[in-house]
Amino acid sequence: MYFSRFLQWKWLERQPATKNTFRHYRVLGKGGFGEVCACQVRATGKMYACKKLEKKRIKKRKGENMALNEKKILEKVNSRFVVSLAYAYETKEALCLVLTIMNGGDLKFHIYNMGNPGFDEKRAIFYAAEICCGLEDLHKERIVYRDLKPENILLDDHGHIRISDLGLAVQIPEDETIRGRVGTVGYMAPEVINNERYTFSPDWWGLGCLIYEMIQGQSPFRKRKEKVKREEVDRRVREDTEEYSDKFSEEPRSICKMLLTKDPKQRLGCRGGGASEVKQHPIFRHINFKRLEANMWDPPFVPDPRAVYCKDVLDIEQFSTVKGVNLDPTDDDFYSKFVTGSVSIPWQNEMIDTECFKEVNAFGTDGTLSPVLDSNKPNPPPKRGLLYRLCRREVCFKSSFSDDEDDPSKTL
């Protein structure tokens, strides 16, 4: 009985996702290949963010590998400090990633658009601790993020953060190093700028830049809105020592210096202990990481649910039309690798969070067999309720053990 119910849930989980699975709402922002909008699963009411990757734009920029890499890494990571991928589907014009929705805005907006630039020390330390946990979860999967900056750190409704936009992340094979001059100007580590080989050291440098910016209200190697050439910023990163104002107390100054060490071998987090040695720094002495990782630590700032912590939709630059690019059957192989429907753990969490599991996972009285699991009884008439909405079939949850294998409606 229980195994039969399990198979039915797995069957439901494997149903293909299409644009009709969701309701789409207002634009939240933009990514590298298209818009990001709010969406809602019609069957359960769960809200997500839908990141659209326009097919023609991907092809024009030869971004197939980057898009597929981001999708595979998002699928692999299951962390409360990194955005989760719940569904991947396609429309005629775009490939779509359905991700954790983060209504609290990004750290850049909060640093520069909510009063005086920067945060108080307590708030900066809280965000740094959660980012450290997110990096630890990525590094456990041997994934180096490589693009840590305020724009990529998002707040949820409750004030917790998640790392987003894993387009530049890459998985490093065991006992190997990689090379790649990628990232954002002013946040790239010296070893990245110098095109040297590395593993996870760029992420700890990025954390140092982020802590500095959260407290100082500007990045360590470029002032806010300063017009300076890329080559000059890179030179500062390689050669100059960051300056500290009186906004920094002893412990934030100490951790920034240790994370912004030019030599990656001497950098905090790169001496063999990884995230654990960063967590042991005195700046985090008041943080209980066990409670933080269990979502039992209250954030110092909770977003106002009535506020919009982002640019006005009218201020979001519109994407231009892609011309001169034609889609053809040779692209179908890439699309088939990308479009895989729901992702198990986020989908299961959705069923639990929306209480669909509680409502649907019902058995008969006194633990007897449920009518929809009893192959000796006719299926009950369909109800236009939750079960109907979940699978959009005439009869939901057909018996798993039907003898009529030629009738697809009676099998999983």
Residues with catalytic roles: 147
Q: Do 11 and 320 touch, CB atoms closer than 8 A?
A: no
Query: For 33-104, where are the E strands, in sequence order?
Result: 35-41, 47-54, 85-90, 94-99
CB within 8 A of 386, min separation 6: which ones?
Answer: 43, 356, 359, 360
What would you report as the CA-atom Rg of the chain, rounded to the nearest whole angstrom? 24
Closest CA to 320 of 24, 106, 50, 60: 60
Using the structure block, give the residue that is written with the tokens 């700890």: 204
**Conformational region of residue 133, where left means phi above 0, alpha means psi within -120 to 50, and beta covers everything else:** alpha
Closest CA to 401 of 380, 376, 383: 376
Angle at 99 between CA 97 and CA 213, to 5 degrees: 115
Q: For the purposes of burial, counting CB atoms within 10 Å of the CB of 73, is it exposed (0-12), middle (13-18) or buried (19 or more)?
A: buried
Q: Do 114 and 134 touch, CB atoms closer than 8 A?
A: no
Using the structure block, give the residue that is written with the tokens 């300056």: 243
d(CA 272, CA 264): 11
d(CA 222, CA 233): 7
Range 337-353 burial, b when 16+ CB lie within 10 A, else e? ebbbebbeebbebbbee
d(CA 219, CA 117): 11
Coil vs helix vs strand at 332:
helix
